[in-house]
C-alpha cells in the first residue's frame, strides 16, 4: 500500500476529499436545490429520449419547448453526457457519481498544475485538497456546471502550459480535449473567466515568443474547430432567449461576492446566515481556503516576496474585485464580461491563484520565515478567540440560545438535525467555527514552532475537512437521500407519451409539487402542461410575452393541440418530441394550433404539401386549414446538429486513442495521466 501511495501520491488526496464530502459519497444525503431541480431534469430527458429510440433535438415540455442543443447548462455537446445518458442512464445515483468524478478531477488537475511551480509533494497534495474543498466548490456544489468548470480549469491550464513550452503533439491533443471539455460542460462565464486568466498567466510565464504564439494560435483554432458544433448550436438558439443581452448594473450587484462576504476567507460558516448583511445568494459568499494558506498569503506581503507567489497574489486580487460589487466601474470595459450574469463565478479565478501562490509562499515560509508564519497563526488564534467571546456576549445580550437548545433533537433524526441547523443564529456560527479555528490554529502554530511539518499539514487538512462538512448542510446537501429522489423520479411514465387531449390546467393541477426537489413535473409527466413559467434553463422571449400577456391563462382551458373553432375533431395523434402527426376533420375553415414555441427548425405539411407555420397566440405554432379531412404534420429538422455531434464524438474518440498511442510509444507509461 505504501508503495502504491508513493507511486501515485494523488491517491491520498482523493481519499481526503471523499471524506470531506462524506454526506454525499456515502449516498446518505442528496445534493440539494438546483442540482436535482434544474440540472437533472434535462439530463433525464436525454436518457429517456435515447431509451425510447429518439434522437433528442427538441425538448417539448419545459416552457413550451426549446432546442436541447442550444442549452448551455445541459452539457449537450459534452461526450461524457452522452456516455452516461446512453449506457447507465441518468438517475440520482449516476448523476451524483458524475459530480464526485469531477471533484476528483479537480484534485488531480490542481495537483498536476501546482507541480509546475512546486517540487514538494506534500505541498502539492495540500493545495489540491484545499482547491477541491475551497469555498467556491463547496458553495456552488448544487450548481453542476460551475463544478465542472472548477474541475477542468486546472486541467486545461496544466496541459496548455506543457504544450506551449514543449510543443509535443500529445500535449497539444490533451490541451485541445481539455479546453473543449471545459467549453462544452462549464457555465459560459467560467469559460470567459478562463480566457481572461490565461492572458496574464502566459505573459508571466514568458510564453510570448514567436513559437509560443504559433502554438497558442494552433491550440485555439483546433479547440474552436472541435467546438464547431457547440458554437453552431448556441449561436442559433441564443438570439431567441432572454439571455442574449448585456446585463445591467443591478444584476451585477445582486450576483456578486460582496465585500462583506470576504470574511469567509477566515470564517466560512457565518456567511450562511444574515442575507440582509451579505446582500447576495448564500452560494456566492464562500471564499474559504483555510488558515494555513491564508497566513501564507500574508507572508507574501509582510516579507515582500518575489516571483510567482506575488504574481498569483496580484492576479487573484484582481479577479476577487471582478467577482465583487467593486467591479461596477470596469465591468462594461472588459470583453464579454458584461454578458456574465453571475460575476461571483469569477472568484474561482481568485481562489485558484490564491491557493497556488499561498502554496508557493508556504513552502518558502516553512524554510525561511517560520517565526513570521508562527506569529501570523497566533494572531489568527487571537482573532478566533475574540470572535467566540464577542459572539457569546452578543447571544446573552440578545437573549439568543439556539446553540444550547437541544429540544429539537427529539423525533425524526433528519428533521431534528435540519431544525437545529436552521435554528442557528449568526452568533452561533461564529462560536462554532471560531472555536474550531482557535483550537486548530493553536495546534498549527505549535507545529510550526516545533518544525513538525507532517503534523502541521495534518492539522491543516483536518481544518479543511471540518469546514467542508460544516458548510454542506447549507449549500451542499438536503434532507432527502438519492434513494428518495429516485423513488420520485420512478413515478414518471416510461418512454415518450402522447399528449392527453384534456385541458392543460387540468393536467397541470394533477402534477405533484416537485419544483424544489426534482424540478417541474411537466417534464417527468411527459405531458405538455404548465401551470407557470420555469425560469431555468432556457426561456424564449416570446414565451415570456405569452405568460406576461395572460394568453397562457386563457389557453390553459385547451389541450396541447387544438383548433380555434368548435366543430373540428381530432381523430388520430402520432406523437414524438420532434414529430407531430394529426388526422382531423373540419366542418369550417379553422386554424390548428400546437402548444409549442414557434421556431425556425419546425416545418409543416398539410395534406402532403408544405405549408408555412404561423405564429399564433404570441409564441405558439399554427397552420390554417380548410373544411374537410386534414392530414397535418409538424417535423423538427436539423440534420446539421446530428452530423456535427457524430463527427465531434468520433474525433474525440480518435484524439483520445492518438494521445494514448503517442504517449505509450514515447515510453512515458501514461505519466501525464497517472502522476
Model confidence over 40-80: pLDDT tens digits? 999 999 999 999 999 999 999 999 999 999 998 889 999 99
The residue whose grid cell reads 442543443 is 69
**Residue ranges of the alpha helices (H) in 406-540?**
413-423, 426-450, 453-475, 482-489, 504-509, 521-524
- Give the phi and the psi of residue 283 in degrees, each rounded to 5: -70, -15
Which one-letter DSSP state was computed for residue 35? I
pLDDT of residue 513: 87
- At residue 672, the pLDDT reads 44
580 falls within a domain: yes
Q: What percent of the chain has pLDDT over 90?
A: 72
Distance of CA 104 to the CA centre of its chain: 15
Using CA atoms, how far apart are residues 157 and 171, in angstroms rounded to an integer? 11
| Helix (H) / strand (E) containing 67 | strand 66-67
Could you tell me what percentage of the chain is helix, strand and coil, using 3-state DSSP and rounding each to the nearest 5? 60, 10, 30
Q: Which three cell numbers stand for residue 246?
A: 448585456
Predicted local confidence at residue 674, as pLDDT: 38
Residue 566 lies in a domain: yes
CB 503 within 8 A of CB 481: no
In a domain, 581, yes or no: yes
Are the C-beta atoms of residues 135 and 286 closer than 8 Å to each other? Answer: yes
Cβ within 8 Å of residue 276, ≥6 positions away: none
Domain with 586 in it: 561-639
pLDDT tens digit sequence for 588-628: 889 999 999 999 999 999 999 999 999 999 999 999 999 99
Q: Is 140 a domain residue?
A: no
Q: How far apart are the first and last CA of the chain?
A: 16
Residues in the chain predicted with pLDDT less than 70, given as ranges, are 1-6, 243-246, 249, 251, 398-419, 667-675
DSSP characters over 78-132: -HHHHHHHHTT---HHHHHHHHHHHHHHHHHHHHHHHTTT---HHHHHHHHHHHH
38 found inside a domain: no
In a domain? residue 633 = yes
The domain tally of the chain equals 1
Report the residue count for the chain: 675
Q: At what angle do helices 453-475 and 121-132 cross, to 10 degrees?
A: 10
Biggest CA–CA distance in the chain, Å, is: 94
Q: Whole-model pTM above 0.85?
A: yes
Q: What confidence score (pLDDT) does residue 671 get?
A: 47
Residue 618 in any domain: the answer is yes
CB 325 within 8 A of CB 258: yes
Looking at residue 616, which CATH number applies to its domain? 2.60.40
Sequence-distant (6+) residues with CB within 8 A of 620 are 64, 546, 555, 593, 594, 595, 596, 597, 598
- Cβ(360)–Cβ(115) under 8 Å? no
Residues 6+ apart with CB under 8 A from 386: none
Q: Which among 60, 72, 43 is positioned nearest to 235, based on CA atoms?
A: 72
**Assigned domain for 341 exists:** no
Contact 147, 154 (CB under 8 A): no
- Asked whether the CA dihedral 116, 320, 256, 142 is positive or negative, the reply is positive
Amino acid at each position: 500500500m505504501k508503495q502504491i501511495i508513493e507511486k501515485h501520491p494523488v491517491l491520498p488526496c482523493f481519499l481526503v476529499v471523499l471524506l470531506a464530502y462524506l454526506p454525499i459519497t456515502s449516498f446518505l444525503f442528496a445534493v440539494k436545490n438546483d442540482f436535482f431541480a434544474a440540472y437533472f431534469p434535462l439530463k433525464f430527458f436525454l436518457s429517456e429520449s435515447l431509451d425510447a429510440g429518439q434522437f433528442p433535438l427538441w425538448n417539448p415540455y419545459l416552457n413550451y419547448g426549446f432546442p436541447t442543443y442550444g442549452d448551455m447548462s445541459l452539457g449537450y455537446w459534452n461526450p461524457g453526457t452522452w456516455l452516461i445518458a446512453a449506457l447507465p442512464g441518468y438517475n440520482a445515483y449516476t448523476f451524483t457519481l458524475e459530480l464526485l468524478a469531477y471533484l476528483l478531477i479537480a484534485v488531480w488537475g490542481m495537483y498536476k498544475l501546482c507541480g509546475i511551480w512546486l517540487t514538494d509533494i506534500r505541498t502539492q497534495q495540500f493545495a489540491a485538497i484545499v482547491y477541491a474543498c475551497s469555498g467556491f466548490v463547496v458553495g456552488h456544489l448544487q450548481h453542476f456546471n460551475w463544478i465542472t468548470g472548477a474541475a477542468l480549469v486546472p486541467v486545461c491550464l496544466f496541459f496548455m502550459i506543457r504544450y506551449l513550452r514543449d510543443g509535443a503533439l500529445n500535449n497539444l491533443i490533451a490541451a485541445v480535449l481539455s479546453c473543449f471539455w471545459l467549453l462544452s460542460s462549464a457555465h459560459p462565464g467560467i469559460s470567459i473567466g478562463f480566457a481572461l486568466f490565461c492572458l496574464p498567466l502566459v505573459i508571466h510565464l514568458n510564453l510570448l515568443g514567436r513559437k509560443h504564439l504559433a502554438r497558442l494560435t494552433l491550440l485555439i483554432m483546433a479547440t474552436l474547430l472541435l467546438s464547431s458544433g457547440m458554437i453552431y448550436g448556441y449561436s442559433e438558439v441564443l438570439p431567441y432567449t432572454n439571455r442574449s443581452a448585456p446585463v445591467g448594473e443591478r444584476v451585477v450587484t445582486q450576483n456578486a461576492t460582496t465585500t462583506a462576504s470576504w470574511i469567509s476567507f477566515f470564517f466560512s460558516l457565518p456567511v450562511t446566515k444574515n442575507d440582509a448583511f451579505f446582500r447576495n445568494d448564500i452560494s456566492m459568499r464562500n471564499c474559504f481556503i483555510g488558515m494555513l494558506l491564508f497566513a501564507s498569503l500574508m507572508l507574501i506581503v509582510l516579507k515582500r516576496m518575489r516571483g510567482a507567489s506575488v504574481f498569483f497574489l496580484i492576479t487573484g486580487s484582481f479577479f476577487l474585485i471582478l467577482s465583487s460589487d467593486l467591479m461596477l466601474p470596469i465591468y462594461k470595459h472588459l470583453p464579454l464580461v458584461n454578458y456574465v450574469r453571475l460575476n461571483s463565478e469569477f472568484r474561482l479565478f481568485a481562489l485558484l491563484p490564491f491557493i497556488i501562490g499561498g502554496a508557493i509562499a508556504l513552502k518558502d515560509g516553512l524554510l525561511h520565515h517560520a517565526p513570521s508564519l508562527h506569529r501570523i497563526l497566533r494572531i489568527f488564534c487571537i482573532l478566533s478567540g475574540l470572535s467566540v467571546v464577542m459572539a457569546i456576549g452578543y447571544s446573552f445580550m440578545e437573549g439568543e440560545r439556539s446553540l444550547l437548545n437541544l429540544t429539537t433533537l427529539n423525533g425524526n433524526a433528519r428533521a431534528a438535525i435540519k431544525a437545529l441547523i436552521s435554528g442557528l443564529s449568526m452568533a452561533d456560527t461564529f462560536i462554532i467555527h471560531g472555536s474550531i479555528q482557535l483550537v486548530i490554529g493553536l495546534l498549527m502554530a505549535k507545529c510550526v514552532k516545533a518544525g513538525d511539518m507532517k503534523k502541521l499539514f495534518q492539522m491543516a487538512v483536518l481544518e479543511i475537512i471540518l469546514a467542508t462538512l460544516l458548510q454542506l448542510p447549507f449549500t451542499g446537501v438536503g434532507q432527502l437521500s438519492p434513494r428518495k429522489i429516485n423513488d420520485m423520479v420512478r413515478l414518471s411514465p416510461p418512454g415518450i407519451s402522447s399528449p392527453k387531449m384534456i385541458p392543460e390546467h387540468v393536467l397541470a393541477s394533477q402534477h405533484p409539487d416537485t419544483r424544489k426537489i426534482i424540478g417541474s413535473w411537466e417534464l417527468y409527466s411527459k405531458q405538455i402542461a404548465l401551470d407557470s413559467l420555469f425560469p431555468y434553463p432556457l426561456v424564449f422571449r416570446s414565451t415570456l410575452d405569452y405568460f406576461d400577456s395572460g394568453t397562457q391563462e386563457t389557453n390553459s382551458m385547451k389541450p396541447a393541440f387544438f383548433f380555434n373553432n368548435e366543430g373540428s375533431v381530432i381523430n388520430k395523434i402520432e406523437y414524438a418530441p420532434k414529430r407531430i402527426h394529426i388526422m382531423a376533420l373540419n366542418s369550417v375553415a379553422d386554424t390548428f394550433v400546437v402548444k409549442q414555441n414557434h421556431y425556425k427548425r419546425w416545418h409543416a405539411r398539410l395534406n402532403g404539401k408544405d405549408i408555412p407555420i404561423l405564429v399564433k397566440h404570441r409564441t405558439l405554432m399554427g397552420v390554417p386549414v380548410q373544411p374537410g379531412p386534414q392530414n397535418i404534420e409538424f417535423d423538427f429538422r436539423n440534420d446539421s446538429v446530428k452530423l456535427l455531434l457524430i463527427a465531434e464524438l468520433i474525433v474525440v474518440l480518435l484524439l483520445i486513442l492518438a494521445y494514448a498511442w503517442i504517449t505509450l510509444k514515447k515510453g512515458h507509461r501514461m505519466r501525464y495521466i497517472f502522476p
